């Protein structure tokens, strides 16, 4: 892309010296690096000093962007939950059909993406939904909203078993979330997932 005005030029130049002095987007860089560290070693092992050093900045610089270490950890948790929501949205976009089969496929894809995300990013998943980051206020609920919409869609098509729609989203979410947790921590064998999904299908669908 060719810069077409001074602001753009300046911005690009600014990016190119991001590591020189004023960093450009140190806040986001710290979050990304912290997420990377957590992904590798779990949230127990993370150190603000280490994250700052890896980003190429002194530890004290972080305090211009985060009140304390916990604030950085919270930002990572938000980021992870955002990524999960994004992955789910992308999965939905891949199944645009308006027929019943597509509606079912979307519903199943949501669960599948959730489970896959947890398995591929166990430490980040555990961080976002674990002991740290107890969620006092409602989290960005893109993922949950998508589930509710998918269930409503199924229900409006008469594909949900009669009489179970109310509160079903909590049961489904709990179930997939629990399976994710138990799989990550080694208590459920991933080989049983197919069977699990088959049972869920029978339980929910008409």
Residue 202 engages a copy of itself in binding (rule: CB under 8 A): yes
Residue 73 engages a copy of itself in binding (rule: CB under 8 A): no
Distance CA 107, CA 37 (A): 33
How would you class 124 by CB atoms within 10 Å of its CB: exposed for 0-12, middle for 13-18, buried for 19 or more? buried
Report, in angstroms and rounded to the nearest whole number, the Rg of the chain calculated over CA atoms.
Answer: 21
Question: Which residue shows structure tokens 């994004």?
Answer: 86
Residue 96 engages a copy of itself in binding (rule: CB under 8 A): no
Q: Which two tokens stand for residue 61?
A: 């610089």
- Chain centroid, CA 121 distance in Å: 9
Q: Which two tokens stand for residue 22?
A: 């004023």
User: Which of residues 103 and 126 has its CB atom nearest to DNA in the complex?
Assistant: 126
**Footprint on residues 175-194 left by a copy of itself (CB under 8 A):** 175-182, 185-188, 192
Residue 60 interacts with which of a copy of itself, DNA, none, CB < 5 to 8 Å by class:
DNA
Residue 135 engages a copy of itself in binding (rule: CB under 8 A): yes
DSSP type of residue 138: P
Q: Which two tokens stand for residue 36?
A: 């990377």
| Smallest gap from residue 159 Cβ to a copy of itself (A) | 15
Tell me what percent of the chain is helix, strand and coil, each rounded to the nearest 5: 70, 0, 30
Residue 82 engages a copy of itself in binding (rule: CB under 8 A): no
Distance CA 125, CA 73 (A): 13
The footprint of DNA (CB under 7 A) covers 14, 17, 20-24, 26, 46-50, 56-61, 63-65, 68-70
| Site map 140..169 versus a copy of itself, x via CB under 8 A | -----------------------xx-xxx-
Residue 123 engages a copy of itself in binding (rule: CB under 8 A): yes
| Smallest gap from residue 16 Cβ to DNA (A) | 11
Residue 77 interacts with which of a copy of itself, DNA, none, CB < 5 to 8 Å by class:
none
Q: Which is nearest to 151 in space by CA: 160, 163, 143?
A: 160
Distance CA 87, CA 110 (A): 9
Residue 17 interacts with which of a copy of itself, DNA, none, CB < 5 to 8 Å by class:
DNA
- What residue ranges bind a copy of itself (CB under 8 A)? 42-44, 123, 126-127, 129-136, 139, 163-164, 166-168, 170-171, 173-182, 185-188, 192, 195-196, 198-200, 202-204
């Amino acid at each position: 892309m060719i810069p077409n005005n001074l602001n753009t030029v300046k911005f690009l130049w600014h990016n190119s010296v991001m590591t020189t002095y004023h960093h450009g987007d140190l806040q986001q860089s710290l979050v990304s690096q912290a997420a990377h560290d957590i992904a590798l070693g779990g949230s127990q092992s993370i150190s603000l000093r280490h994250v700052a050093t890896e980003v190429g900045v002194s530890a004290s610089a972080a305090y211009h962007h985060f009140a304390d270490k916990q604030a950085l950890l919270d930002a990572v948790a938000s980021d992870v939950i955002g990524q999960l929501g994004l992955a789910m949205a992308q999965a939905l976009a891949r199944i645009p059909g308006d027929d019943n089969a597509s509606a079912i496929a979307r519903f199943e894809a949501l669960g599948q993406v959730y489970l896959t995300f947890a398995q591929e990013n166990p430490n980040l998943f555990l961080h976002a939904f674990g002991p740290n980051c107890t969620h006092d206020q409602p989290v960005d609920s893109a993922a949950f909203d998508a589930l509710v919409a998918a269930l409503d869609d199924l229900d409006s098509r008469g594909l949900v078993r009669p009489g179970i729609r109310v509160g079903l989203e909590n049961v489904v979410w709990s179930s997939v979330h629990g399976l994710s947790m138990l799989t990550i921590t080694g208590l459920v064998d991933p080989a049983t997932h197919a069977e699990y999904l088959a049972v869920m299908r029978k339980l929910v669908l008409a």
